[in-house]
Chains A and B, each alone.
Chain A
Amino acid sequence: MTDENTPRDEDPGNESGFRAGRHALPDDAPPQTGPIPIVGGPPPVQSAELWKPPPGGRHEQQAADTSGSAGGWNAQGAAAPAGGATGAGATALAERPREEKKAKKARLSEGKSAERRLAYWLIAPAAIMMLLVTGYPIIYAFWLSLNKMSLSAPGEREFVWFSNYGAVLSDGYWWTAFSVTLGITVVSVIIEFVLGMAIALVMHRTIFGRGTIRTVVLIPYGIVTVAAAFSWYYAWTPGTGYLANLLPDGSAPLTEQWPSLAIIVLAEVWKTTPFMALLLLAGLALVPDDLLKAAQVDGAGAWTRLWRIILPLMKPAILVALLFRTLDAFRVFDNIYVLTRGSNSTYSVSMLGYDNLFKAFNLGVGSAISILIFLCVALIAFVFIKGFGTAAPGSDDEGR
């Protein structure tokens, strides 16, 4: 364990040390001053560094460290350590006589550094891909959002600082979209949770037909959202639909704001509750049966067992399910696009961003909306992850 930890703990210190060293090398640290000023940083870091294997392997690894941890900031990462590492490593090796320990460390980290090198080769394509397609565009979007730019006047661009944000935030459209989105998110996630919990309990407890019901429940998940949205659209179209015909004559729910919103929530809930139910079912499987039986023997009713035992034990699964669904619901687009196209003030923030680009051709304002949505999502995620603590998905400390 110590062997695994030591190199990792040193790295941040090392890295900055190297960088400082490299920049310092030409001017501030002429060769005659010896090795010590070359490597800035506290003594432990320095000596740890001296034990490292030959410069070749060391600097390669260092380069990989930097580029890997920063995603794909290769330009900086790959270039920085090259000179410094070699120089420092070489001088250091020549100076210090702690042969035994050095050799041991070197042998141990031979396999380690091979492992690391493999790891970086394996994650590099995915990391670079994710960075290029999300990291770069979001920065670019931020830049666009500071400019006055329109697709209808391609050549013209004016740097306007944050006035696009001012325009968006002082505009009624954004706040309508924001409240519509928030409303849809909150209402549909609550309904999904209650309904999903009920379905999860049915799936968990049912004795016969378990396979069938688990299979059937996946149907809404499998249906293309657009197809499902059309099913709801026609169901509520007066004359055509079986549901619209249940309403009093002359009512056209998709032409009014509140009924439209209710139908959007219905479509969202229908499509995504199974996903919620499956996540909750997985959490439910972790609740020990003995505990429930014991509680039952002690006279706890079904309701008490649910509130006092099942729900508390399922808390991690519940939080994950709620987080995923909340963020997903906040991006609602497909259902609205098909059901109302955003008419009668039923547009979500995603819909607003889309319309700003493809109807108003306004790149600057569209980008400002993009960034605002991104910030909203980041805020929601932050609040949830604070609630999670360490139980965030993918925190893989149980890995080994």
Chain B
Amino acid sequence: MNASGKSKAWWSIANILVILYALIPLLWIISLSFKPASSVTDGSFIPKEWTLDNYKSIFDTSAFTSALINSIGVGLITTLIAVILGTMAAYAVARLEFPGKKVLIGAALLIAMFPQISLVTPLFNIERRLGLFDTWPGLILPYITFALPLAIYTLSAFFREIPWELEKAAKMDGATPFQAFTKVIAPLAAPGVVTAAILVFIFAWNDLLLALSLTSTERAITAPVAIANFTGSSQFEEPTGSISAAAVVITIPIIIFVLFFQRRIVAGLTSGAVKG
């Protein structure tokens, strides 16, 4: 009894350590975002005075607002297209027999591991020539490409768990393979689609390198780029508070999202790994 109580205490301590580990940097940036300019450099973890000025200031100019709109727009369109294309490909990978499947899987794996920086120089040059530089499509296209492997893996793992017999039964009843896909399999795979959508959106929302390289004005600059390049010039005497507030603004929605869909995200992230 005593021993189990003791081990229980140890596990609680371990739990608390893990929770602190995850939360401290987040709480710190939140704390900074609420500190007024006068005490932002006091170094204390909890603000002594609280203010919303930082949040007001970042929405004063169009710089951050437009970046936020770009991020949301680019993220949503990327998610939509990547999930549609990913669903189609994942169905073929999980359920259909065709030569070249291994090549497709290999190519997807290759792209999942692809160093984005290797594409920055050529894409920058190509997009400038095509007029895609500093536009939404100029970001959306590479995002979709890098998100596709993620979507295909997650979704094909889900597709595999759907009972085969259902599709057979549908075909027996006279459905074409296409009808079997749209009427039977697709609705059952909806949870997988949601998972893939979340993962893709997080990827697009998080990206810095591609957005930094392929955008240059408020037309297409995304929120992470805007934040990374915030300067202490004209409007802000000290950008610490503003940057923190902006960081919190782009982080909190994702955190809520992640917490809300926790189970699905875990399933999606690990689906590729355990199959091996």
Binding site for B on A (CB under 8 A): 4, 7-8, 11, 65, 68-71, 112, 114-116, 118-120, 122-123, 125-127, 129-131, 133-134, 137-138, 140-141, 144, 199, 202-203, 205-207, 209, 211-228, 230-232, 234-235, 239-242, 244-245, 270, 274-275, 278-279, 281-283, 285-286, 316-317, 319-321, 323-324, 327, 330-331, 333-334, 337-338, 349-350, 353-354, 357-358, 363, 366-367, 369-371, 373-374, 376-377, 381, 388, 391-396, 398-400
Known: A115-B97, A317-B273, A357-B121. Contact between A240 and B243, CB under 8 A?
no
Q: Is B255 within 8 A of A357, CB to CB?
A: no
Q: Is B243 within 8 A of A354, CB to CB?
A: no
User: How far in angstroms is the closest Cβ of chain B from A97?
Assistant: 29
Known: A278-B270, A357-B120. Contact between A394 and B228, CB under 8 A?
no
- Of B41, B107, B247, B265, which is within 8 A of A127 by CB? B107
Instruction: Compute how far the CA of A228 lies from the CA of B29 in the bound complex, rounded to whole angstroms.
Output: 8
Q: Which chain B residues border A125 with CB–CB below 8 Å?
A: 85, 88-89
Tell yes or no: B274 within 8 A of A by CB: yes
Q: Which chain A residues border B21 with CB–CB below 8 Å?
A: 270
Known: A235-B28, A370-B122. Contact between A392 and B276, CB under 8 A?
yes
Instruction: Compute how far the CA of A285 lies from the CA of B110 in the bound complex, rounded to whole angstroms.
Output: 28
Binding site for A on B (CB under 8 A): 8, 11, 14-15, 18-19, 21-23, 25-26, 28-29, 32, 40-41, 43-45, 85-86, 88-89, 91-94, 96-101, 103-105, 107-126, 141-142, 144-145, 148-149, 152-153, 156, 160, 164, 176-178, 181, 202, 205-206, 208-209, 212-213, 223-224, 227-228, 240, 243-244, 247-248, 250-251, 254-255, 257-259, 262, 265-266, 269-270, 272-276
Give the residue name and chain of the B residue nearest to A218 (CB).
B258
Given contacts A216-B22, A354-B213, 12 further A-B contacts (CB under 8 A): A65-B100, A137-B126, A141-B119, A203-B18, A230-B227, A234-B32, A235-B25, A279-B273, A320-B273, A353-B118, A392-B109, A394-B108
Q: Is A230 within 8 A of B273, CB to CB?
A: no
Q: Which chain B residues border A242 with CB–CB below 8 Å?
A: 28, 43-45
Q: Which chain A residues border B126 with CB–CB below 8 Å?
A: 137, 140
Q: Is B89 within 8 A of A126, CB to CB?
A: yes
Q: Which chain B residues border A230 with CB–CB below 8 Å?
A: 29, 227, 243-244, 247
Q: Is B104 within 8 A of A123, CB to CB?
A: yes
Q: Which chain B residues border A369 with CB–CB below 8 Å?
A: 117
Known: A65-B100, A123-B104. Contact between A388 and B276, CB under 8 A?
yes
Q: Is A8 within 8 A of B251, CB to CB?
A: no
Q: Is B115 within 8 A of A331, CB to CB?
A: yes
Known: A206-B15, A278-B270. Contact between A349 and B117, CB under 8 A?
yes
Instruction: Compute how far the CA of A357 lies from the CA of B273 in the bound complex, rounded to whole angstroms.
Output: 36
User: How far in angstroms is the closest Cβ of chain B from A178?
Assistant: 13
Q: Is A129 within 8 A of B273, CB to CB?
A: no
Instruction: Compute how far the CA of A137 lies from the CA of B28 in the bound complex, rounded to whole angstroms.
Output: 41
Give the residue name and chain of the B residue nearest to A232 (CB).
B25
Instruction: Compute how far the CA of A220 lies from the CA of B22 in the bound complex, rounded to whole angstroms.
Output: 6
User: How far in angstroms is the closest Cβ of chain A from B37?
Assistant: 12
Q: Is A224 within 8 A of B247, CB to CB?
A: yes
Q: Which chain A residues border B240 with CB–CB below 8 Å?
A: 234, 240
Q: Is B97 within 8 A of A112, CB to CB?
A: yes
Known: A239-B41, A240-B41, A270-B25. Contact between A373 and B115, CB under 8 A?
yes
Q: Which 10 A-B pairs have the closest CB atoms?
A: A69-B100, A227-B247, A282-B270, A222-B258, A137-B122, A119-B98, A133-B145, A391-B276, A126-B89, A231-B29
User: How far in angstroms is the closest Cβ of chain B from A153?
Assistant: 14
User: How far in angstroms is the closest Cβ of chain A from B165?
Assistant: 12
- Of B11, B107, B148, B181, which is within 8 A of A207 by CB? B11
- Of B99, B124, B247, B257, which is within 8 A of A69 by CB? B99
Instruction: Compute how far the CA of A165 lies from the CA of B160 in the bound complex, rounded to whole angstroms.
Output: 45
Q: Is A133 within 8 A of B141, CB to CB?
A: yes
Q: Which chain A residues border B152 with CB–CB below 8 Å?
A: 126
Q: Which chain A residues border B111 with CB–CB below 8 Å?
A: 130, 134
- Of B86, B105, B213, which is within 8 A of A358 by CB? B213
- Of B43, B88, B145, B177, which is within 8 A of A134 by CB? B145
Instruction: Compute how far the CA of A316 lies from the CA of B272 in the bound complex, rounded to whole angstroms.
Output: 11
Q: Which chain A residues border B123 with CB–CB below 8 Å?
A: 133, 137
